[in-house]
Amino acid sequence: MREALTRVVAEGRYQQGLPAPSAPRRTGEPGPPSPIVELLLTVLGGAIAVAVLAALVGIALRAVRTRRPGAAIGEPAATPQPAHAPAPVVSDLDARARAGDLDTAIRELLHRVLGWLVARQPALRPASLTSREVLAASDLPAPSALALRELVDAVERAVFAGRPASADDWARCHAAFTRLQRSLEAPG
């Protein structure tokens, strides 16, 4: 083995140094980033800029929406007071129910009642609340909550369970609306 090693070293058949670099580069200088890295950095920078802009616009819109009319921006908003909105008119729904379009009449009655409750209780204002969420979030007295629950149940049976509404369903819903209206408009 020693003899083979001596022969290889003597003939100079092994590499004795590092190969020369293909392109001269200064020590410590990184190479150019790949196109994918450049694209990712550009997209990331754009996303950050859009997020910051969206946050600023959201803050500005919230400040404008919550301030009192005539108040300076930054001045605290007035606490919303419950409105005494008039009860919805339902005579057109009676006519629709008499014409046989009971499902639509019941659903529209619930929509009008929910709109009326939102007008009376500003805390219920978010448009994303379902009728069940409005029922749970409202501070209705027990008789009013039961009447609203009857309306919600009737609409859910007609829309989600696929059971067409009957004339008796309409009569119960209209009676529930009347009870709800009386209990909410009663003095005290």
- Residues 108 and 43 placed together within one structural domain of the fold: no
Structural domain harbouring 174: 91-185
pLDDT digits (tens, 9 = 90+) for 103-114: 888 998 888 888
Q: Per the domain annotation, does 133 fall within a domain? A: yes
**Long-range Cβ contacts of 64-70 (<8 Å, 24+ apart):** none
* pLDDT value at 127 more than 70: no
Say which DSSP state 146 is in: H
pLDDT digits (tens, 9 = 90+) for 57-85: 988 877 666 555 555 555 544 444 444 66
Q: What pTM does this model have? A: 0.52
| Token duo for residue 17 | 């140094």
Q: Per the domain annotation, does 19 fall within a domain? A: no
Q: CA 158 to CA 78: how far, in whole Å?
A: 41
132 dihedral zone (left: phi>0; alpha: psi -120 to 50; beta): alpha
| Pair 171, 105: CB distance under 8 Å | no
Q: Per the domain annotation, does 132 fall within a domain? A: yes
* pLDDT value at 38 more than 70: yes
pLDDT averaged over every residue in the chain: 78
- Residues 95 and 159 placed together within one structural domain of the fold: yes
Closest CA to 107 of 68, 147, 149, 158: 158
Q: Per the domain annotation, does 25 fall within a domain? A: no
Which helix (DSSP H) or strand (DSSP E) does residue 10 occupy? helix 2-11
Number of domains into which the chain is organized? 2
- Residues 56 and 98 placed together within one structural domain of the fold: no
Q: Per the domain annotation, does 14 fall within a domain? A: no
* pLDDT value at 94 more than 60: yes
Give residue 89's pLDDT band: very low, low, confident or very high (50, 70, 90): confident
- The vertex-79 CA angle with 180 and 77, nearest 5°, equals 140
Report, as an integer, the average pLDDT of 44-69: 82
- Residues 116 and 158 placed together within one structural domain of the fold: yes
- Residues 62 and 108 placed together within one structural domain of the fold: no
